[in-house]
Chain A
Amino acid sequence: KNEVEQSPQNLTAQEGEFITINCSYSVGISALHWLQQHPGGGIVSLFMLSSGKKKHGRLIATINIQEKHSSLHITASHPRDSAVYICAVSRNGAQKLVFGQGTRLTINP
């Protein structure tokens, strides 16, 4: 079993829908990252969090340390949100990230 599991692996939705991507991990962590990668493009860090909730525009990330779970929400989704979203964790005492397999999101107009 992977240390970081994301669900769903693929998600297709209509423009305007509320999107939730989930990430569960099985190790103690010092931080959790949400990354975005557009097709053929680079990787952008969306959030880094170790507790609570963060919001940036239409994106919200939450983390529950006790349950070892994080969610990435997108409100009023738009076709330009179509990308692969990757969850990654920094393990306690370690400095390298462990990555989830990514969630491919497609928003249709």
Chain B
Amino acid sequence: DAGVIQSPRHEVTEMGQEVTLRCKPISGHNSLFWYRQTMMRGLELLIYFNNNVPIDDSGMPEDRFSAKMPNASFSTLKIQPSEPRDSAVYFCASSRDAGTGELFFGEGSRLTVL
């Protein structure tokens, strides 16, 4: 298996632009997580899905952030409009079981908002 696949790996955009990050989880995994990592706050969970259904989005910073999982093999995290404080590395991870399953992370998407 190719592992968790994220795109783009790097994105540089200007404030106010829409950003869409993509994730393909490992086949057979039923839980998908979006994390954000910054120097100041470390790793933070933004949202996670179980069987394509959003379970907990309490980590989503504000309405500018939205996430979807239209099917078991694809998820998007969208920021609209983007702001400089959104600059971070965004990781997607998947597992067979959200509570007790081993987590597999993607390589991350490094976002810079100018």
Interface residues of A (CB under 8 A from B): 30-31, 33, 35, 41-45, 48, 50, 86, 88, 90, 94-97, 99, 101-102
Contact = CB atoms under 8 A, between A and B. Distances in A.
Given A42-B108, A43-B91, A96 B45 contact: yes
Interface of B: 31, 33, 42-45, 48, 50, 55-56, 59, 91, 93, 98-108
A45 B43 CA distance: 14
Contact of B99 (A35, A43, A90): A90
Contacts of A95: 31, 48, 50, 55-56, 98-99
A45 B102 contact: yes
B31 A43 contact: no
A101 B101 CA distance: 22
Contacts of A50: 100
Given A86-B43, A90-B100, A99-B43, A43 B56 contact: no
Given A95-B56, A99-B42, A102-B42, A42 B107 contact: yes
A44 B104 CA distance: 7
Nearest to A101: B42
A96 B59 CA distance: 10
Contacts of B31: 95
A98 to B, nearest CB: 9
A45 B104 CA distance: 7
A102 B44 CA distance: 13
A31 B93 CA distance: 17
